[in-house]
Chains A and B, each alone.
Chain A
């Protein structure tokens, strides 16, 4: 997808992604993985040497510079370091894309007020960026990016320069915008929390390639690639035994009777049901929870437990596993 001249290493190659209208799609990767290059290819800030980028059926690589300028007005972008005009007030920063598009003064003024309200900065219109906090600067960036009613919002590490609290407030603003305005959001990040908080689908990048892609819950609960497990590990300790064959040594009290170790995963409303208990109740099998997480991803609750099933015979244990599966719970036998 990028320069193939010998001696020049392509920044990204052989990437094939399809992003649905209205979804929040995350791209996660370590620095140098090529995610930033990929994002910049979407609005042609970087021009790919081969391949195409198609938005709404329109091939971006085929546009001339005038067409591209018009098209870019419908693709908002926010940045890690905000990239605001330091010489302009908050209102003038938001007005910038409107003036570029040639909007009348009166229309600009009313649009600025709408946007200030949307991002909660109505009282700061006359301030300069250096008088604002990082979170407020990013809100200005978001207002500016949304000014021309874009269909797509590109987020380039938009929360990486912010503290955790500010990050979550910016993320909920993005989620809000996605829901209210139906804007497709494509974001890149190196933080799994960001993906978990707002993304619908995720692609994991490494060395210029996409190594894994899928729904966030699937990727999160069953990471396939080592890099993905790494990222999942940022937000959960489940990954430790996802990568190994069994629970970690810390969960290996010597006195414990060896039973059948399984990892069970449940998603959605099942999280709140006493399925595990009800399944074993009528049998001789009992269980001990060795490790577990119950949380939610975006707004979907999920749980993942590593349990040891003891008592009863092999047959009974097998029956419990089958029953659990019938309930729609994912069961993976780790050791028996």
Chain B
């Protein structure tokens, strides 16, 4: 074991920056896709506005499959898609498509269950007032489920952070990459500790920011 503590802070800073960029972009796309998927899952499920058992069944199956494949395997198996989208499979850019493909179905399920928390009577009331399904989504479902949705996005962000660290295995860049190359392959325990601590701090910041927003919007 080598505990010299000669850490290249510039490299740590760059890796942290890379991780944040990966997290930011992948979270953005994950929220867009996951939210849409979650709303569609909810609306087409049994007893809801646009109930469609066949459609729901197929979509639900796809979501389950994507969620059950381990992230490392998923990342490798979507290389062709990644290549087509961002023309590379490594680095910060190359990590974003697999992160989104893995996290969006995860978020979609969380969104679906957050929407299920809304009392059906509230939706019925909106219908009775002549709301269109679109108006119900924007004016009832999203505002009413806002605390639950923020909590879902927070959990997804933390999951993305840990996935992004895993993408270091295939040269994804960021803190995970650093921990793997120095900390594990070169036995630099000091760098390993620093990266892990940085990740812990990031998770803490994300979670408490999320919790704060949930508390702010919770009017129940």
Using CB atoms and an 8 Å cutoff, list the residues of chain A in contact with chain B: 43, 45, 68-73, 75, 77, 79, 81, 83-88, 96-97, 99-101, 128-130, 144, 148, 154
Contacts and interface: CB of A to CB of B under 8 A. Distances in A.
A73 B122 contact: no
Contacts of B220: 86, 130
Contacts of A77: 125, 128-129
B130 A100 contact: yes
B139 A84 contact: no
Nearest to B142: A87
Contact of B139 (A73, A86, A100, A154): A100
Nearest to A87: B143
B119 A81 contact: yes
Contacts of A79: 121, 124-125
A129 B143 CA distance: 14
Contacts of A86: 122, 144, 219-220
B131 interface: yes
8 contacts: A84-B122, A87-B219, A96-B129, A99-B139, A100-B130, A130-B219, A144-B129, A154-B128
Chain A at the B interface: mostly helix, strand, loop or mixed? mixed
A77 B126 CA distance: 10
B64 interface: no
A81 B123 CA distance: 13
Q: How large is the interface on B (under 10, 10 to 19, 20 to 34, 35 or more residues)?
A: 20 to 34
Given A85-B143, A86-B220, A87-B143, A45 B128 contact: yes
Task: Report the 8 A-B pairs with minimum CB-CB distance, sorted nearest first.
Answer: A72-B130, A83-B125, A83-B121, A69-B130, A77-B128, A97-B129, A73-B130, A87-B143
Contacts of B127: 45, 72
A4 to B, nearest CB: 21
Contacts of A84: 122, 125
B195 to A, nearest CB: 40
Contacts of A100: 126, 129-131, 135, 139
B219 A75 contact: no
A48 to B, nearest CB: 16
A158 to B, nearest CB: 12
B213 interface: no
Given A86-B144, A86-B219, A45 B124 contact: yes
Interface of B: 119, 121-122, 124-132, 135, 139-140, 143-144, 146, 217, 219-220
A85 B119 contact: no
A7 to B, nearest CB: 19
Contacts of B140: 85
B119 A69 contact: no
Q: Most A CB atoms within 10 A — which of B124, B130, B219?
A: B130
Given A86-B219, A99-B139, A73 B121 contact: no
A45 B139 CA distance: 19
Contact of A81 (B121, B128, B129, B130): B121
A154 B125 CA distance: 11
Contacts of B125: 77, 79, 83-84
B211 to A, nearest CB: 18
A154 B127 CA distance: 14
A88 B132 contact: no
Chain A CB within 10 A, most for which of B128, B139, B146: B128
Contacts of A72: 127-130
B151 to A, nearest CB: 14
Contacts of B124: 45, 79, 83
A129 B125 CA distance: 15
A103 to B, nearest CB: 13
A241 to B, nearest CB: 42
A83 B123 CA distance: 8
Most buried by A among B129, B139, B143: B129
Given A85-B140, A85-B143, A100-B139, A69 B122 contact: no
A84 B143 CA distance: 12
Contacts of A148: 129
Nearest to A73: B130
Contacts of B139: 96, 99-100
